[in-house]
Amino acid sequence: MKQILIVGIGAGNPEHMTVQAINALNRADVLFIPTKGEAKSQLAVIRRDICDRYVTRADGRVVEFAVPVRQTTGRSYDQSVDDWHAAIAQSYQRLLLEELAPDQTGAFLVWGDPMLYDSTIRIVERVRALGTVDFDYSVIPGITSVQALTASHRIPLNLVGKPVQITTGRRLAESFPGLAETAVVMLDGEQAFMAIDDPEAFIYWGAYLGTPQEIVLSGRVIEVRDEILKTRAEARARHGWIMDVYLVRKGADFDA
């Protein structure tokens, strides 16, 4: 039976690789590297660098494949994502049929951690549901952008004895600052932090975490939000893409 390894490779620094992840890549007969167009070519470059650094087996192959582009016109958010995942599943099915021999192992190199705001597991399950390829799979965790963010800012993720919410920009206003003292925001294309007017709220923002282009900014939201917005726009224009995450917080340790 074919085997698939879904390997978390960290947030951008090749040194984020765990020993477990390195061993997994060296178990694979085929390493699958996604490409997302010229603008995001650095993402593929970092994956290639990881393979060059850590893969020692001489008989392994690297197969690059184009990731379908998500279509949003005339679709709701949920429908656009569902259609996108279906298209990627078709690509994965082709890879497993054409590039992986019976009893071989293939590995997908996943940015960050496969269990946190990543859909590789969902897409692999879609391929299983198609019933055209007989395979099993394992998941290897990785360093998340949340860990990279808090490490760069030298802050703990949580306040003492208090919970943390991980959410998206579209849902941030539902819980922060009214219900959650700390919220980590991922997938925020609309910069939801701009709507936070609470003078006691702080933000810790980071982009391209773990890469040579890393940028981090922090401070009271109302004081630094315009600077973050400007910096983010300039960085996106310069690189052609941006990958950012931030933590917003109100309160302190041992507050009642």
Residue that finishes a domain, picked among 124, 143, 162: 143
- Does residue 256 fall inside a structural domain? no
Residue 7 falls within a domain, yes or no?
yes
Residues 139 and 151 in one domain: no
**Which of 143, 164, 180 lies at the terminal end of a domain, its last residue?**
143
Residues 99 and 187 in one domain: no
**Final residue belonging to a domain, choices 143, 158, 175:** 143
Spatial distance between the Cα atoms of 79 and 45, rounded to a whole number of angstroms: 31
> Does pTM surpass 0.85?
yes
Burial class (CB in 10 A: 0-12, 13-18, 19+), 69: exposed
Q: Which residues of 88-115 are buried (b: 16+ CB within 10 A; e: fewer)?
A: bbebbbebbeeebeeebbbbbbbbbbbe
pLDDT value, residue 37:
62
Cis geometry, peptide bond prior to residue 114 (ω within 30 degrees of 0): no
pLDDT of residue 191: 95
Structural domain includes residue 82: yes
Geometric angle at alpha carbon 31, from 27 and 37, rounded to 5°? 160
CA-wise closest residue to 180 among 163, 167, 195: 163
Q: Which domain does 177 fall in, by range?
A: 146-250
Asked if residue 155 and residue 126 are part of one domain, the reply reads: no
235: CATH: 3.30.950.10
User: How high is the mean pLDDT in each 10-residue block of the chain (256 residues)?
Assistant: 96 93 97 77 86 93 89 83 90 95 95 93 96 96 97 97 94 91 93 96 96 96 98 94 95 84
Using a 10 angstrom Cβ sphere, with 0-12 exposed, 13-18 middle and 19 or more buried, the burial of residue 220 is: middle
Domain count, the chain: 2
Same domain (yes/no): 72, 115: yes
Q: Is there a single domain that holds both residue 115 and residue 15?
A: yes
Please give the Cα distance from 231 to 235 (Å, whole number): 6
Q: Are residues 32 and 84 in the same domain?
A: yes
Residue 61 is predicted with a pLDDT of 93
Q: 8 with 128, same domain? A: yes
